[in-house]
Structures are given as structure tokens and as C-alpha cells.
């Protein structure tokens, strides 16, 4: 729980916009996941893409989490934060030769292979390094996760994984290869999933394939069931973790595989907020805007997916500015407002048409459930510097990322063209 008092204090101390995370809340989510799956050998490989701050990762490493990575730099982050290499896995449709080589050198648990060509690349790179490449194949089960189309990944029209038949042929090939060691199977059908039925349907399809492979004496050790468990942003009904885990165990049908889960959003989403200050309000005829100092570069989700994050207002500034008669708006106060940032795009909004009491410059606007895909998707668009991040652990605050400044922004650029 992050209280209003601490929000006000942190806003004063570190300025805004600012991300604040509740690490104890994060720990509870990890423990909840582990409890749900405790009947079986399982590894929680936290999906770094949701939020890859190093302090967060090292906190998760101490809770025995591993990492699900989608780039070689995420693999390096996970290792740097102390996640053991045998709990790190690496997925992604476009790994380059250099990425593959580095992943093999770093000796992580396995690489999730997403195409035939990639399998062949891994084999030839492993051969050149005289190394054994542990792999798992990402199967695309062609099941609709019923989520936003941008974050749906398990349909044949999505770029991820390979179909069942291709996967089977790839396993047979890998099993006969001197340098490929197929030890796992993987599926992940999407994110912010609110009904577990499509996950169970996918699990059943994938497990059918595992039985088919067993008949061919291809004996896998791991089933990686991906992430995707949705959270409450407003009033969503979410999946019960215990029944989810039970469903997976049932689908396994007696198979003795270790389960890998890759939750991201579920762990951090509800445990982070983005706090910002009102710069001022304005009316365009009968449209009210509340302009704040956070923008789409800090939290892209509303602009990109029309995602809805609950908004809270903390009144700070009690000195209302008296507007001269000449400049007064003809409108009475309008209850509904768009909460927007300073960026030069009409898509730059954090909330649309929400009820909002009158705000004054300096008041705080809190954007809730911003812990996942918030900072990690932030950018420097409009030459805005990235936010600072603060963690609250056992009631104590810790700055876990400094606010960027102008010097950071231009550090890699060359101001002169030369002679």
C-alpha cells in the first residue's frame, strides 16, 4: 500500500513525474504464484519486459525467481541482478547470430526457438562453438486469447512460434542433431488474459504433442506455459490463480514435467503508480483538459491500446488563482475531463472523459496500476527525460533509478558534423 502521505512526500523530494513501486506487494504476488503451483516442480521466470529495473530484478532474484527474457540485454540484466543462469530463458522471434552466440556462451537454461530457420542457426552456431544448445520450441496453438489484438500472440496470423506439425518435425530434427538438446516446450498466447479457458485449450493441445513426442522417445523436461494472467485496472474479473494452476496440472495428465511460468504484469502491474502534477487546466469550448507533467512517453498504454488506468487526484494547492473577468470561460465547470500530457500529439492522453474534481496547478494526479509496461515502454520522445523510480520496501523508500537530465539525453550524440 502506498499512502497519500508518502505520495505527497515523495513528489516533493523527487519531483514528478515519478514511478513508485510497492515491493512488499510485489513479494505477495510472487508468493501467491508460488503457492498456487507448489504441488509441482516449478520455476517462476518473471517476464522482464514488464519492468526490468535492476533493483526490482535483484529483489525478485532473492525471492528465488528466474527471468523470462526477450532480448540478450534482458538476459544480461537478469544475470547482473543475480538471477541464476539455470533459471533464465530467452524467447523472441528475431534473435541475431550474435544474440544466439552470447546466449550460448552465457549458458542459460534454454532458448525458446520460434522458427525452423532459427533452429538451424542455433545448430550451426552451437556447432561452431562446440557447445550443446539446450532448446525449447515455442508452439503457436492457434487459440484466441480474447485480449487486445496487439497483445494477442497465439493465433496463426501472429508472428510468434510455430504450428504443431512444424514443431513436431523440429523436435525430431533437434533430437537427431549432435548440437541441439530439446528439453522443453513453450506456449504463450497473449497478455492481460481474463478468462483461463483459452490457456487451458492451448495447454491441452501442447500436451497432446508432448505425448506424441514421448512415443518417439523424445523426452522433454520442461513445459513453459508463458505468462499473460490479467489484472484489475478498473472493474475487470480476473483469473483465480489456484484454479489456473489446478487446470494446468490436470491438463498435464500425469506427465512429469517441471512447469515454468512467466508472469510479468501479474507480479508488478498493480504494485506501481505513476504520479504527476497538474500543470494547468484549459477549456476548448465545451471540452475540458487537465494538463499534467506526465505524458505518453512516460506511460504509453492509453495511447497505444486505449488502456484505462484509474486516476486519483490529491488536492495540494489550496490557493485558487483568480481569473480576470475578461479571460473567464463562459462554461460552468464541466465534471468530465481528458487528462493529457504536454506532447505534440492528440493521442497523448492518460485518461479520457473521466470525472475529475476541479484541479489547481500543483495538485497531484495518480495513475494507478502502472507498474507493468509503464517505465519499460517509456521513451525520450519530444526530448523528454525519463522518470525517476522509487521503491517502497517495508515502509522505507529507496531511489532505484535517478531521473534523467539533459546531459543524459544527449550523452550518445555528436553535436558537430566535423570539418
d(CA 176, CA 181): 9
d(CA 65, CA 244): 19
Q: Contacts with ligand LLP in 277-316 (CB under 6 A)?
A: 301, 305
How many residues can be counted in the chain?
419
What cell numbers appear for 322 in the block?
A: 483568480
Which of 154, 184, 226, 247 contacts ligand LLP by CB under 6 A? 226
Q: Which stretch binds ligand LLP (CB under 6 A): 116-124, 260-268, 319-327, 361-369?
A: 260-268
Q: Is 344 a catalytic residue?
A: yes
At residue 412, the 3 state secondary structure works out as coil
- Contact between 68 and ligand LLP by CB under 6 A: the answer reads yes
Which of 50, 274, 291, 337 contacts ligand LLP by CB under 6 A? 50
> Smallest gap, in angstroms, from Cβ of residue 41 to ligand LLP?
19
d(CA 206, CA 197): 14
What cell numbers appear for 225 in the block?
A: 506455459
- Contact between 151 and ligand LLP by CB under 6 A: the answer reads yes
Prior bond of 17 cis (ω within 30°): yes
- 8 in Cβ contact with 188 (< 8 Å): no
d(CA 272, CA 309): 12
> Smallest gap, in angstroms, from Cβ of residue 246 to ligand LLP?
19
Which of 87, 168, 265, 384 contacts ligand LLP by CB under 6 A? 265
Catalytic residue among 45, 65, 69, 344: 344
- Contact between 184 and ligand LLP by CB under 6 A: the answer reads no
Taking residues 323 to 362 in sequence order and writing x for each that binds ligand LLP by CB under 6 A, - otherwise, the string is ----------------------------------------
Q: Contacts with ligand LLP in 376-405 (CB under 6 A)?
A: 377
- Contact between 66 and ligand LLP by CB under 6 A: the answer reads no
Size of residue set near ligand LLP by CB under 6 A = 24
Q: Residue 33: which residues within 8 A CB-CB, separation 6 or more?
A: 44, 241, 261, 263, 266, 267
Phi, psi angle pair for 349, to nearest 5°: -135, 155
Q: Which is nearer to ligand LLP, 248 or 364 (CB)?
A: 248
* DSSP bridge pairs for 340: 291, 349
Q: Contacts with ligand LLP in 18-47 (CB under 6 A)?
A: 47
Q: Which stretch binds ligand LLP (CB under 6 A): 56-64, 80-88, 224-232, 340-348?
A: 224-232
- 161 in Cβ contact with 202 (< 8 Å): no
DSSP secondary structure string for all residues of 347-403: T-EEEEEEE-----TT-EEEE-S-SSSSGGG---GGGPPPPEEEEEETTEEEEEEPP
- Contact between 95 and ligand LLP by CB under 6 A: the answer reads no
Q: Which is nearer to ligand LLP, 101 or 265 (CB)?
A: 265
Q: Closest Cα to residue 240, out of 208, 281, 193?
A: 193
| Cell 523436435, located at residue | 171
- Contact between 262 and ligand LLP by CB under 6 A: the answer reads yes
Q: Which is nearer to ligand LLP, 28 or 253 (CB)?
A: 28
> Smallest gap, in angstroms, from Cβ of residue 241 to ligand LLP?
12
Q: Which stretch binds ligand LLP (CB under 6 A): 34-42, 330-338, 371-379, 390-398?
A: 371-379
- 295 in Cβ contact with 367 (< 8 Å): no
- Contact between 154 and ligand LLP by CB under 6 A: the answer reads no
What cell numbers appear for 189 in the block?
A: 498466447
Q: What is the DSSP letter of 404?
A: P
* Positions marked catalytic: 344
Residues binding ligand LLP (CB under 6 A): 47, 49-50, 68, 91, 151, 153, 188, 191-192, 226-229, 262-266, 301, 305, 372-373, 377
Amino acid at each position: 500500500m502506498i499512502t497519500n502521505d508518502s505520495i505527497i512526500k515523495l513528489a516533493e523530494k523527487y519531483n514528478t513525474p515519478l514511478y513508485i513501486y510497492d515491493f512488499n506487494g510485489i513479494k505477495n504476488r510472487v508468493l501467491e504464484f508460488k503457492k498456487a503451483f507448489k504441488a509441482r516442480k516449478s520455476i517462476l521466470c518473471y517476464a522482464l519486459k514488464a519492468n526490468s529495473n535492476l533493483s526490482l530484478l535483484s529483489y525478485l532474484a532473492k525471492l528465488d525467481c528466474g527471468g523470462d527474457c526477450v532480448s540478450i540485454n534482458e538476459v544480461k540484466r537478469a544475470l547482473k541482478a543475480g538471477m541464476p543462469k539455470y533459471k533464465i530463458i530467452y524467447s523472441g522471434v528475431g534473435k541475431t547470430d550474435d544474440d544466439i552466440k552470447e546466449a550460448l556462451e552465457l549458458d542459460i537454461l534454454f532458448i525458446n526457438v520460434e522458427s525452423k530457420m532459427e533452429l538451424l542457426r542455433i545448430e550451426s552456431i552451437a556447432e561452431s562453438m562446440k557447445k550443446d544448445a539446450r532448446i525449447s520450441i515455442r508452439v503457436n496453438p492457434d487459440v484466441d486469447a480474447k485480449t487486445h489484438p496487439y497483445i494477442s500472440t497465439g493465433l496463426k496470423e501472429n508472428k510468434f512460434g510455430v504450428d504443431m506439425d512444424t514443431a513436431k518435425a523440429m523436435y525430431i530434427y533437434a533430437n537427431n542433431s549432435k548440437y541441439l538438446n530439446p528439453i522443453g516446450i513453450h506456449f504463450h498466447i497473449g497478455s492481460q488474459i481474463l478468462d483461463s479457458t483459452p490457456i487451458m485449450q492451448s495447454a491441452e493441445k501442447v500436451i497432446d504433442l508432448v505425448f506424441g513426442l514421448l512415443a518417439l522417445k523424445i523426452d522433454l523436461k520442461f513445459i513453459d506455459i508463458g505468462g499473460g494472467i490479467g489484472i484489475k485496472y478498473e472493474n475487470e474479473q480476473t483469473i483465480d490463480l489456484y484454479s489456473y494452476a489446478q487446470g494446468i496440472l490436470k491438463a498435464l495428465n500425469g506427465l512429469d514435467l517441471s512447469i515454468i511460468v512467466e508472469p510479468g504484469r501479474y507480479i508488478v502491474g498493480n504494485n506501481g503508480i505513476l504520479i504527476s502534477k497538474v500543470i494547468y487546466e484549459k477549456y476548448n469550448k465545451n471540452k475540458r483538459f487537465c494538463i499534467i507533467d506526465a505524458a505518453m512517453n512516460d506511460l504509453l498504454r492509453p495511447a497505444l491500446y486505449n488502456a484505462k488506468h484509474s486516476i486519483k487526484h490529491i488536492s495540494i494547492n489550496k490557493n485558487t488563482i483568480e481569473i480576470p473577468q475578461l479571460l473567464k470561460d463562459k462554461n460552468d465547470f464541466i465534471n468530465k475531463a481528458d487528462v493529457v500530457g504536454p506532447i505534440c500529439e492528440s493521442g497523448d492522453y492518460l485518461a479520457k472523459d473521466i470525472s475529475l474534481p476541479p484541479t489547481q496547478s500543483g495538485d497531484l494526479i495518480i495513475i494507478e496500476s502502472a507498474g507493468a509496461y509503464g517505465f519499460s515502454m517509456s521513451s525520450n520522445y519530444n526530448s523528454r527525460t525519463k522518470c525517476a523510480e522509487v521503491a517502497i520496501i517495508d515502509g522505507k523508500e529507496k531511489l532505484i533509478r535517478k531521473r534523467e537530465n539533459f546531459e543524459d539525453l544527449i550523452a550518445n550524440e555528436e553535436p558537430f558534423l566535423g570539418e
